Structure 1
Amino acid sequence: MSELYIGIDSGTQGTKGVILDGESGDILDEAYAPHGLLEDNAGMREQHPSWWLTACHAVISRLISGPRVDPSLVRGIGVSGQQHGFVPLDAAGEVIRPAKLWCDTATTAQCAAITERMGGPEAVMNAIGNSVAAGFTASKVVWLKDNEPENYDRLATILLPHDYINFWLTGERRTECGDASGTAFFDVKRRAWSGELLDAMDPSGKLTACLPELIESDQPVGVVRPELAGEFGFADDVLVSSGGGDNMMAAIGTGNVVPGQVTASLGTSGTIYAYSETPVVDPRGELAAFCSSSGGWLPLVCTMNVTVATELTRNLLELSTSRLNEMAESAGPGSGGLLLLPYFNGERTPALPGATASLHGMNSTNYTPQNMCRAAMEGATFGLRYGMDVMQRLGLEPSEIRLVGGGARSALWRQIVADILGCPVLRPRVEEAGALGAAIQAVWCVKTDRGERVSLPELAARYVTMDLTGGAEPDSARKGLYEDIYGRYLLLDKALRSMNE
């Protein structure tokens, strides 16, 4: 009988899950459960980690309750999680306070303080290969020290969101290089924790003792705890793979595990990333020099505002998603001259955490709902184009874009991406790339643990297929038009830098 593998993707808005038939490669079922969000106007974005566990429990329960699923055949579980979040645990393994998320920008002052104590941005880059960005974990830890010293005194373990879910599943406090490389206290070139950064965060040495054990991407975190295994009807030896950050798992789930592939995500945030067999470090700090969760590296550029822009526009105009697409398509390329700088949540690339959005080029004839809808899509995509420029500056050239995320469901948006980035767009058949990638990694882990000689690229080639009807080729005329508009986008960004920095 076929072995089954569960992939979990715990994101900002909710938890998704898939169950993979290891023999046929079929997705037997999918499930979803939403999360809440704690936020304010000062940049705070937090969640209770218990919400993730409740959602994971619900998702797993639904996945194993389907008519095609025998839970006793589940052999492995992989977990994908939103990157950079800070889950503080006390000595008893209890959560001390809500987790600060990747999109929390309330820690900007701590970023500056850490960088100054390191001796400046160049010293930081030399130490870890990345900058100390507002979204990364390091500043959140120092924020706790600065603002909640009693809670900081209780701190015994620092976990990332996916590590915390693994802790719930197994009782083990471990992590892997991919997600760890997004903390800003991890040296991506040496694939090890950075003592220099940890000392800059807290010279007492306390933090070193708070770090989880580092394991390789193909190693298991542990075995599902007996009480959970019994509750779900699992065997007593179900392995939980190392897991990783959502971008690292989506790379696996889109087959982006060999040089030349590029994945772009149209989600709440936008990401564009490629596989590399060697570290790719940006001296300007615009590219995140992450490790992958497949044993290599994953140079990545992140923008904070993609479906944020379209969802805010849709809600403002009281439209359905399909109606927003219809109106955007009717507007035509260029949005009648409207140009959106979509910094609704600040911005990571370029590094403008305190920036705000701007709508430019309005006049008495073009200020229409149709043009606003199109400008939201185009503005968010220009942000991704900026990221592509960064990657190309560092020698990474895409041959094709594998597009994922909620925005990738729109045929119009897929075409806009192809035209603005000037590259063919492919859409993976399985939409939930993070969850699929986590399941594939679980297969890799289980087979490796058994001593079977199988490579992750082989598994990805087997389980990741493209939707032959969901691609888009760049149109030469629109590509030329968008080149001119993108030039205006860059000029607008430059003109507003003094207000946004």
Structure 2
Amino acid sequence: MHFLGIEIGHTMTRAMALDLESAGTAALASVGHPETEGLPEGFAEVDPGVWLGSVDQAVREVLEKLGDARGSVVAIGVTAADGGMVVLDGGDHVIRPAKLGSDQSARRQAEMIGREFGGMPGVIELIGNAPDAGSMAAQLLWLRDHEPRHFQKAARVLTPQDFIGYWLTGEDGSSASSAATTGLFSVPGRSWCREMAEWIDPAVGKMLPVGLAATSPRGKLRSALSAAWGLDEGVLVAPGLGARAAALFASGAARPGEVVADLSADGALAAVSEDPLVDFLGEGVVGCDVSGRGFTRMALRNIVAAPELVRRHYGWSKSEFETKIANAPAGAEGLMFLPYLRGEEVPRLPEAQGAIQGITLNNFTPGNLARAATEGVALSFAYAMSRLRDIGLEPVELRLVHDPGPTGGALLADACGLPTLTVKGVGGALLGSAMQAAAVYFHDQGEELGFDEIAGYVVTANEESRIQPDPGRQEFYADLLARQQYLVETLHAGGFL
């Protein structure tokens, strides 16, 4: 039995076939679709028709690789990068190119939303998140202000994943996970924010799609596509979900209290909660996970950058770097590395730079510098974890996407005060979309195999990698975190960070 996943990225469409029996990828394909060129600075748009062509090509390539096994495909899931907007008229024709979540042309409109609803705190109270230029809310306001003729023709607005789902099935709708990415959806209330829609324009409320249940299919694949792709009639299409929610699901996190540390270049700390936990400081993005529960995500920009800067500077291999940080003492003999080389989102320091503090004639050694950079990253996660606890999360363990090595894992366990373990089978948002298709299919068949069971089956925890926090070092790093945050606040207030 196979489940197809489709992911619409900013410049590429990917498709995969998940073999549930082996819990592995049976086939994979990718097709590029570059953004529209020649646009003003800050604009990021693409013709939605390009998506349709790339989805068709990617799916055909996956099915070709499956060969005779294509007959075992029973469901399809779709995800896309968060944000963005597709606008259709009354005849379901695309009115204009789709705006992407990376589009910044509606920055002024995001500021207008903030002013209207009481600034960042007011908007967060209303929908759960701060205003965002890449959101559908800001982009609809931009459309009204800059392209009134297109706005007047608009009958339907969809996220990219809902647009693809509509094309696959002919059925309109949006899951809570998808709707939560629009800036028009009250995440705490799990419903469209009619107050904001009405303020943008009284017509907006009628443009928004109907809600789709997390466990029910959007519909069946259209007969024309079934025939074109050589699939059996009756293939189900899942409701769809945002990329952040899909990636969280693909890390195996589906139960409240499960926390995932993404150790990639654009890393994050994300946690599932029974109800959405809103961060009124605006550092955490709140959304709805694959099942409709809440999740809060703290973005971290420098997880890879800071350690890699030191490693490359000394020309060490990864194993040599691991040896250096393992042999250096905890606290790096007083050397502290603020790892904000690319600015930072949590804490909110978009223009910050890195800093090294506490240098003496004796402690400025290569090993201590490596240790300080790694501890700086661990303390970034610790700060984000403290913020999650502040807003009500009761974490149970920390799952690591990508293996940081034994020393890095121990540092994260001690700094965050949680057991850490790596997970196997992680495949990002694309895998999460295929996993959603599997869960929805089994629910439709009346089988007791929910989202958490699918997550546990496809993504398994590596128990051999589990590391328990050491109480003594945990207290040490709690004190070090307090020192770091005092330094950050002092430097930032003085204009030096």
Q: Which residue of 2 aligns with 1:263?
A: 260
* CA displacement at 1:28 relative to structure 2: 2.8
* CA displacement at 1:160 relative to structure 2: 2.1
CA RMSD of aligned residues (A): 4.1
* CA displacement at 1:193 relative to structure 2: 0.5
Larger Rg over CA atoms = 2
Task: Identify unmatched segments of 5+ residues in structure 2.
Answer: none
Q: In the superposition, relative to structure 1, how do residues 410 and 431 fare at CA in structure 2: closer, same or farther (>3 Å)?
A: farther
Q: In the superposition, relative to structure 1, how do residues 303 and 371 fare at CA in structure 2: closer, same or farther (>3 Å)?
A: farther
Alpha carbons 1:385, 1:421 under 8 Å: kept:
yes
* CA displacement at 1:71 relative to structure 2: 0.9
Alpha carbons 1:329, 1:374 under 8 Å: kept:
no
C-alpha separation in 2, matches of 1:93 and 1:396:
44
Q: In the superposition, relative to structure 1, how do residues 373 and 315 fare at CA in structure 2: closer, same or farther (>3 Å)?
A: closer
C-alpha separation in 2, matches of 1:410 and 1:442:
33
C-alpha separation in 2, matches of 1:131 and 1:166:
27
Alpha carbons 2:16, 2:25 under 8 Å: kept:
yes
Q: Which residue of 2 aligns with 1:161?
A: 160
Q: In the superposition, relative to structure 1, how do residues 450 and 340 fare at CA in structure 2: closer, same or farther (>3 Å)?
A: same
C-alpha separation in 2, matches of 1:213 and 1:9:
22
Q: Which residue of 1 aligns with 2:187?
A: 188
C-alpha separation in 1, matches of 2:84 and 2:318:
32
* CA displacement at 1:425 relative to structure 2: 1.8
Q: Is 1:397 equivalent to 2:394 in the alignment? A: yes
Q: Tell me which of 236, 255, 271 is aligned to 1:239.
A: 236
Q: Tell me which of 427, 433, 437 is aligned to 2:432.
A: 437
C-alpha separation in 2, matches of 1:411 and 1:104:
40
Q: Which residue of 1 aligns with 2:78?
A: 79
Q: Which residue of 1 aligns with 2:17?
A: 19
Task: Name the amino acid aligned to 1:94.
Answer: V
* CA displacement at 1:225 relative to structure 2: 3.3
Q: Which residue of 1 aligns with 2:413?
A: 418
Q: In the superposition, relative to structure 1, how do residues 361 and 467 fare at CA in structure 2: closer, same or farther (>3 Å)?
A: same
Task: Name the amino acid aligned to 2:256.
Answer: P
Matches within 5 A, 1:278-293: 278-293=275-290
SS in 2 for 1:65: helix
* CA displacement at 1:114 relative to structure 2: 0.7
Matches within 5 A, 1:45-194: 46=44, 48=46, 56-66=55-65, 70-90=69-89, 92-94=92-94, 96-101=96-101, 107-133=106-132, 136-146=135-145, 152-153=151-152, 155-194=154-193
Q: In the superposition, relative to structure 1, how do residues 65 and 475 fare at CA in structure 2: closer, same or farther (>3 Å)?
A: farther
Q: Which residue of 1 aligns with 2:443?
A: 448
C-alpha separation in 2, matches of 1:147 and 1:490:
43
Q: Tell me which of 211, 214, 217 is aligned to 2:211.
A: 214
C-alpha separation in 2, matches of 1:14 and 1:311:
29
* CA displacement at 1:329 relative to structure 2: 5.3
Q: Which residue of 2 aligns with 1:462?
A: 457
SS in 1 for 2:65: coil
Deviations 1:138-176 (A, max 9, x none): 334334444555655554433223223323433444211
Alpha carbons 1:36, 1:47 under 8 Å: kept:
no
Q: In the superposition, relative to structure 1, how do residues 61 and 363 fare at CA in structure 2: closer, same or farther (>3 Å)?
A: farther
Q: Which residue of 2 aligns with 1:427?
A: 422
C-alpha separation in 1, matches of 2:112 and 2:161:
27
Alpha carbons 2:109, 2:138 under 8 Å: kept:
yes
Alpha carbons 1:325, 1:373 under 8 Å: kept:
no
Q: In the superposition, relative to structure 1, how do residues 275 and 8 fare at CA in structure 2: closer, same or farther (>3 Å)?
A: same
C-alpha separation in 1, matches of 2:393 and 2:111:
30
C-alpha separation in 2, matches of 1:162 and 1:413:
36
* CA displacement at 1:500 relative to structure 2: 9.3
Alpha carbons 1:38, 1:45 under 8 Å: kept:
no
Identical positions, percent: 29
- TM-score computed with the length of structure 2 as normaliser: 0.81
* CA displacement at 1:375 relative to structure 2: 6.4
Runs of 4+ in 1 over 6 A off after TM superposition: 37-40, 314-319, 362-376
Q: Is 1:7 equivalent to 2:21 in the alignment? A: no
Task: Name the amino acid aligned to 2:422.
Answer: R
Task: Name the amino acid aligned to 1:97.
Answer: P
SS in 2 for 1:70: helix
C-alpha separation in 1, matches of 2:49 and 2:305:
29
* CA displacement at 1:79 relative to structure 2: 1.9
Q: Which residue of 1 aligns with 2:357?
A: 361
SS in 2 for 1:259: coil
Q: Is 1:309 equivalent to 2:298 in the alignment? A: no
SS in 1 for 2:485: helix
Q: Tell me which of 324, 331, 336 is aligned to 1:330.
A: 324
* CA displacement at 1:318 relative to structure 2: 12
C-alpha separation in 1, matches of 2:171 and 2:27:
28
Alpha carbons 2:425, 2:458 under 8 Å: kept:
no
Alpha carbons 1:328, 1:371 under 8 Å: kept:
no
Alpha carbons 2:302, 2:341 under 8 Å: kept:
no
Q: In the superposition, relative to structure 1, how do residues 224 and 307 fare at CA in structure 2: closer, same or farther (>3 Å)?
A: farther
Q: Is 1:386 equivalent to 2:346 in the alignment? A: no
C-alpha separation in 1, matches of 2:304 and 2:143:
28
Q: Which residue of 2 aligns with 1:275?
A: 272
Q: In the superposition, relative to structure 1, how do residues 443 and 416 fare at CA in structure 2: closer, same or farther (>3 Å)?
A: same
Alpha carbons 1:175, 1:215 under 8 Å: kept:
yes
